[in-house]
Structure 1
Amino acid sequence: MPGKRHYQTTWNAQHSLPSDDQMPNLQRHQQTILFRLRTGHCRLRAHMHRLGLSHTPNCPCETGPQTPEHILQTCPLHQEARTDHWPQGATLQEQLWGTKDSLIRTTSFIQATKLEV
C-alpha cells in the first residue's frame, strides 16, 4: 500500500505551479489575494451566491456576474483604478500569472477597489 509520501509526490506533480510563477515571491497577504482570484474561491458575489451567501451573483454595476475576471477586466465601477494600474491595459493572464511586478499591480488594484476578496 502506497504511503503518504507517495500520495504527496503524486499530488505535487499533478498540481504544481508553473516553474516561473512569481506568487511565492510575494508577501503573504498578496499571495492570498492572488490565490483567491486565481481559483475564484473568494468573497465576490458570484462565488458567495454559489455558496448561498448572496442573494445575487451580479455585480453592483449590473453588467454581469461579479467574478475575478469581471473585476479585473471590465467592471465599469473600477475603470479608473484599472487605468491607473494598467495604463496600456493587461490581459487576465498577465494580471494573474505574469511577472512579479504584474502580480503586485493586481494586488494593489484589488486593494484600491476596496473589495474584499
Structure 2
Amino acid sequence: MPVHRRLKSRSPPLVTAKRLLEEAYDGIAAWKRGWIDSAPTAWHPLLDPNSPPPGFQLPRKLRVTLNRVRTGHGRCGANLTKWGFSTNPACDCGASLQTTEHITFDCPSRAFGGTREDFLRATPEAVLWLEQLDVRL
C-alpha cells in the first residue's frame, strides 16, 4: 500500500519513547509489579531480577531438569508423543499418560515425596530426587 494511504499510528514509537523518558519510567519496577500481580505466590522467590533463582548454582544439566519440573515442560512420554519423537505417551508404571506432573508427584515408582515449593526453593531433598531420577526430563 502506498505510504500516503497508510493509517498513521496512534502511538508512534518515538512519541512513546519520549513520553517514557519524561516520566522517568522504571521498566524493572514495572516488570516486577506485573510478575507479582500475575504469578502464583509460590513463584515470588524466583522473580527478583537482581538475584539468581534458587538452584542457579547447580550444574547446568541439573538446573535444566529443575526448571523443567518447575514449568511442567519436560521430555516426558506425553510431550515426546506430541512432538513426534515417540508413539507411546504412557508411563512404564501403567499410567496412560506420562507427564512431568505425573513423574514428579503421581508415579508410584518415581514420585517425589515433597511439595512443588521444594522445587521452587531447590531444597536439598528436591535436588537429590532430581539427581536420582531414572528418566531424563
Give the alignment's TM-score, normalised by structure 2: 0.56
CA change 1:9–1:64 in 2 (3 A) is farther
Aligned length: 101
1:11-48 Cα shifts (integer Å, max 9, x gaps): x6456833484121322121111122223332211111
Question: Conserved in 1, the CA contact under 8 Å of 2:62 and 2:130?
Answer: yes
Higher relative contact order (CA 8 A, sep 6+): 1
Question: Conserved in 2, the CA contact under 8 Å of 1:43 and 1:116?
Answer: yes
Give secondary structure in 1 for the equivalent of 2:84.
coil
Question: Conserved in 1, the CA contact under 8 Å of 2:73 and 2:100?
Answer: no
Give aligned-pair identity as a percent: 25
Give secondary structure in 2 for the equivalent of 1:34.
helix
CA change 1:62–1:40 in 2 (3 A) is same
Report what 1:90 is aligned to: 114
Letter in 1 for 2:47: P
CA change 1:64–1:98 in 2 (3 A) is farther
CA change 1:69–1:22 in 2 (3 A) is same
Cα separation, 2, equivalents of 1:73 and 1:35: 16
Instruction: Compare the two structures and name the one with the higher helix fraction.
Output: 1
In structure 1, the gaps of 5 or more residues are 83-88
Question: Conserved in 1, the CA contact under 8 Å of 2:68 and 2:74?
Answer: yes
Give secondary structure in 1 for the equivalent of 2:68.
helix
Report what 2:65 is aligned to: 33
Report what 2:84 is aligned to: 52
1:9 to partner: Cα distance: 5.4
Q: Runs of 4 or more off by more than 3 Å in structure 1?
A: 12-16, 18-21
Report what 1:61 is aligned to: 93
